[in-house]
């Protein structure tokens, strides 16, 4: 059985950086090969991991949808070919970018074929890290029908925690089986106030840990360097790795 790790959170809370660090952490302890899946329509996971890509899975889906009447190649073969082209290979991990959600028109047939190909392809990876956007309906249709561990990432603000609450509830409504889910508070300055802790306890959401605000992450991002490659001695990276040590593996 593979280990499937999911991340979600509203924009700007550092979710993608934490997803990238999950990939790096798994690789550092020899849990490979890993498939990193960027399922956020605002795709940034490749940048965090220091990789680049030319094609997305939505490109493959659009090509299949527009290839009506083309009998030179079957849709199954076309999708499988384009999916393999969309996977960018690295040393310990590969990455694939989902791309934009559906546009106008019916995508049912294209999604059905793509889901089948992805199910077969993803089984080749014993470890998967999926970076979701806040609304995850498309992920339930196209990729994981289950996630072993799911992290909801928020900053230490009332607005961020309100969004985290919605995501926490959303995963229960979707047809995704999740074994364990945790809240991660990121970019925290000082202590977490009691009013915010009351929100967390009121849901309730299981708090896996708190990650301090760290200027090094901002500096690395500003300079275009992969933030996931920052050393584990930095306060934020150390805190993130401690969370993974406690929650990621049994």
pLDDT grade, residue 31 (50/70/90)?
A: very high
The pLDDT > 90 percentage for the chain reads 55
Quote the strand ranges of 43-121, DSSP E: 93-97
pLDDT of residue 82: 84
User: Cα angle at 20 between 191 and 156, to 5 degrees?
Assistant: 20
pLDDT of residue 179: 93
Alpha helices in 123-157 (DSSP H): 137-142
Q: Which residue has the higher pLDDT, 146 or 128?
A: 128
* Domain boundaries along the sequence of the chain: 7-247
Q: Which residue has the higher pLDDT, 11 or 155?
A: 155
Residue 72 has pLDDT above 90, yes or no: no
**What is the third-level CATH fold of 7-247?**
Rossmann fold (3.40.50)
Question: Is the sign of the CA dihedral 226, 11, 136, 112 positive or negative?
Answer: negative
pLDDT of residue 68: 54
Neighbours of 198 (CB within 10 A): 9
pLDDT of residue 108: 58
Q: Which residue has the higher pLDDT, 189 or 106?
A: 189
- Per the confidence metrics, is the pTM higher than 0.85? yes
pLDDT of residue 137: 59
Residue 234 has pLDDT above 80, yes or no: yes
Mean pLDDT of the chain: 86
Residue 50, φ and ψ in degrees, nearest 5: 75, 35
Q: Which residue has the higher pLDDT, 86 or 1?
A: 86
pLDDT of residue 227: 92
**pLDDT for 174-190, tens place per residue?**
777 899 999 999 999 99
pLDDT grade, residue 69 (50/70/90)?
A: low
**Residue 133: left if φ>0, alpha if ψ -120 to 50, beta else—which one?**
beta
pLDDT grade, residue 21 (50/70/90)?
A: very high
pLDDT grade, residue 1 (50/70/90)?
A: low
């Amino acid at each position: 059985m593979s280990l499937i790790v999911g991340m979600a959170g509203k924009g700007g809370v550092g979710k993608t950086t934490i997803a990238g660090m999950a990939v790096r952490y798994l690789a550092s302890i020899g849990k490979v090969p890993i498939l990193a899946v960027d399922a956020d329509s605002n795709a940034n996971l490749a940048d965090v991991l220091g990789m680049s890509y030319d094609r997305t899975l939505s490109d493959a889906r659009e090509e299949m949808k527009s290839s009506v009447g083309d009998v030179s190649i079957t849709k199954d073969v076309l999708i499988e070919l384009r999916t393999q082209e969309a996977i960018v290979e690295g040393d310990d991990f590969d990455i694939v970018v989902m791309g934009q959600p559906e546009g106008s028109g019916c995508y049912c047939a294209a999604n059905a074929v793509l889901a089948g190909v992805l199910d077969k392809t993803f089984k080749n990876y014993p470890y998967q890290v999926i970076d979701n956007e806040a609304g995850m309906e498309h992920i339930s249709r196209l990729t994981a029908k289950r996630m072993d561990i799911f992290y909801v990432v928020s900053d230490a603000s009332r607005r961020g925690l309100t969004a985290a609450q919605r995501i926490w509830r959303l995963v229960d409504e979707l047809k995704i089986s999740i074994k364990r889910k945790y809240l991660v508070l990121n970019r925290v300055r000082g202590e977490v106030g009691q009013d915010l802790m009351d929100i967390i306890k009121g849901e309730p959401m299981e708090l896996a840990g708190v990650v301090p605000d760290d200027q090094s992450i901002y500096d690395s991002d500003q300079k275009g360097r992969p933030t996931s490659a920052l050393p584990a001695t930095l306060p934020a990276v150390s805190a993130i790795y401690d969370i993974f040590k406690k929650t990621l593996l049994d």
